[in-house]
């Protein structure tokens, strides 16, 4: 009797060519190389557990362990993907059967399913992505922190609504980004305790009657423990959605940095400069110096957000069990989205490391563009016993009079303040010429803000030091997780080799 399906006696017809073309062949095109190391780890851990639990005989364990070691040594390239076998797992199992025979080769799948395997594989892949993102983001945070401290005294206008607001420093701006990235990293760090749990042992969804040791498999794979509920194990991919959401938020932070720099580097702003080595040019216009890094960095966030949107939209319409729409299609854009997040971090690192603020020009603008008007209002409150709302109106009137006269903020004197105060408050301002000059000085404005989170150079450097300490702790935690996974791989490989040599 001829057998139509290569993976099931239930299916009596061959897989339709259209299904091979649009589902299995595209899946296998990249899946084998990408997932091969994870399947290698999952197979090794399961084999060791089955052998130690006595579910496999010593002879069977020896044969399977030897076959798995050979497959690992050969690599994914030794397997010619057959779309009629549907996916990478069945192709790897077919190779194992080919090497050691169907009786031994077919026993490795005892007490497991492609459902818990797929869930575990996604977790293994996701945790690697988390570590990669955290390590890459740490480098960018280092850059923002270090350069923030370097430029803590470079006074510049701060903007709201893209209009001059109050004086800040370029270092204050950069450490603000470091602060945001610290929280972005914290979200990924917090994900680890939900991500690094093993679903193995759930099998299809209802677990198994074999006396397996789920905790042993979890330990051999470097998981912190077991995700207990069998159905939840195979039904949920919330960890990957949370991961892409965290990556999206981080990419949005970086995109906003790129947006600011894209404005600042324009000819009209000319607030910062980037070296030629990170810029492009035009094929027709000889004068062009294009900020290509910034333009690509701005766009990367959209790709990451698309991965989150795709996953959420697909999972929304899936049933709470193992489904291919949620767990194949729903994950499809997550992985390229995470790759784009890595590229965003790399590009942001380049931009942050190479940007140079134009110190003199920025200070000149901060002096001229009325960004110290709030300080003038504060001076009226502090020295003239004026309520803030009235002081706000007086300072606003000063700005209006200067603008009408074609003058800039640093050209204001006591006479302007007195005239505005008489018109608005119906009394003299009570300020001295020295107090007016001091209030309108952006350097003094920055230096005076010494409260926690303020713009004073000393406070910016204090925040940078605090961020550096926190970053050091985050890096140590990530390094410990890396070490945990490495030690698990050593224990797993040692155990498998012992069974193969028995």
The residues carrying an active-site annotation are 161, 282
Is residue 232 within a helix (H) or strand (E), and if so which, with residue range? helix 230-235
State the Cα–Cα distance between residues 332 and 340, nearest whole angstrom. Answer: 14
Residue recorded with tokens 């300020």? 431
- The number of beta carbons lying within 10 Å of the beta carbon of residue 397 is 19
395 contacts 431 by C-beta, under 8 angstroms: no
178 contacts 145 by C-beta, under 8 angstroms: yes
State the Cα–Cα distance between residues 322 and 114, nearest whole angstrom. Answer: 10
**DSSP result, 348-366:** HHHHHHH-EE-HHHHHHHH
**DSSP result, 101-170:** -HHHHTTTTTT--HHHHHHHHHHHHHHHHHHHHHHHHHHHHHHHHHHHHHTTT-EEEEEETTEEEEEEEH
165 contacts 220 by C-beta, under 8 angstroms: no
DSSP bridge partners of 273: 356
Start-to-end Cα distance in the chain? 39
State the Cα–Cα distance between residues 141 and 349, nearest whole angstrom. Answer: 9
Please name which of 371, 372, 367, 381 lies closest in space to residue 429, comparing C-alpha atoms: 381
């Amino acid at each position: 009797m001829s057998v139509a399906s290569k993976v099931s006696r239930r299916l009596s017809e061959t897989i339709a060519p259209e299904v091979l073309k649009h589902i299995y062949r595209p899946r296998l095109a990249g899946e084998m190389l990408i997932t091969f190391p994870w399947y290698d780890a999952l197979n090794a851990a399961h084999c060791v557990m089955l052998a130690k639990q006595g579910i496999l005989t010593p002879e069977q364990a020896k044969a399977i362990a030897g076959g798995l070691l050979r497959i690992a040594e050969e690599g994914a390239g030794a397997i010619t993907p057959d779309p009629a076998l549907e996916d990478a797992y069945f192709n790897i199992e077919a190779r194992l059967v080919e090497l050691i025979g169907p009786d031994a080769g077919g026993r490795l799948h005892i007490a497991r399913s492609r459902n818990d395997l797929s869930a575990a594989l996604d977790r293994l892949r996701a945790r690697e992505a988390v570590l990669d993102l955290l390590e890459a983001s740490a480098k960018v945070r280092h850059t923002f922190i270090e350069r923030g401290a370097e430029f803590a005294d470079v006074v510049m206008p701060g903007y709201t609504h893209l209009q001059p607001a109050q004086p800040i420093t370029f270092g204050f701006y950069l450490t603000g980004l470091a602060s945001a990235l610290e929280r972005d990293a914290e979200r990924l760090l917090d994900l680890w305790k939900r991500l690094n749990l093993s679903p193995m042992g759930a099998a299809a969804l209802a677990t198994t009657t074999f006396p397996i040791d789920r905790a042993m498999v979890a330990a051999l794979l470097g998981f912190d423990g077991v995700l207990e509920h069998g159905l939840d194990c195979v039904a949920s991919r919330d960890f990957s959605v949370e991961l892409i959401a965290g990556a999206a938020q981080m990419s949005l932070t970086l995109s906003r940095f790129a947006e600011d720099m894209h404005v600042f580097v324009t000819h009209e702003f000319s607030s910062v400069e980037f070296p030629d080595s990170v810029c492009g040019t035009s094929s027709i216009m000889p004068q062009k110096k294009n900020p290509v890094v910034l333009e690509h960095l701005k766009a990367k966030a959209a790709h990451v957000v698309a991965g989150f949107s795709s996953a959420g939209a697909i999972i929304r319409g899936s049933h709470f069990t193992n489904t291919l729409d949620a767990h194949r299609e729903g994950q499809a854009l997550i992985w390229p989205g995470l790759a784009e997040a890595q590229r965003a971090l790399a590009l942001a690192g380049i931009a942050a490391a190479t940007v140079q603020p134009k110190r003199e020009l920025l200070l000149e603008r901060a002096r001229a563009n009325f960004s110290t008007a709030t300080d003038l209002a504060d001076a009226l409150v502090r020295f003239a016993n004026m309520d803030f709302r009235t002081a706000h109106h007086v300072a606003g009137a000063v700005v209006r009079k200067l603008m009408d006269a074609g003058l800039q903020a640093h050209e204001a004197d006591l006479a302007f303040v007195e005239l505005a105060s008489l018109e608005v408050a119906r009394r003299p301002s009570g300020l001295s010429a020295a107090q007016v000059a001091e209030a309108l000085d952006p350097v003094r404005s920055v230096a005076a803000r010494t409260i926690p989170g303020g713009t004073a150079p000393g406070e910016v450097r204090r925040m940078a030091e605090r961020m550096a300490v926190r970053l050091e702790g985050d890096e140590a935690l990530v390094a410990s997780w890396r070490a945990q996974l490495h030690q698990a791989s050593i224990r797993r490989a040692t155990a498998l080799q012992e069974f193969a040599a028995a």
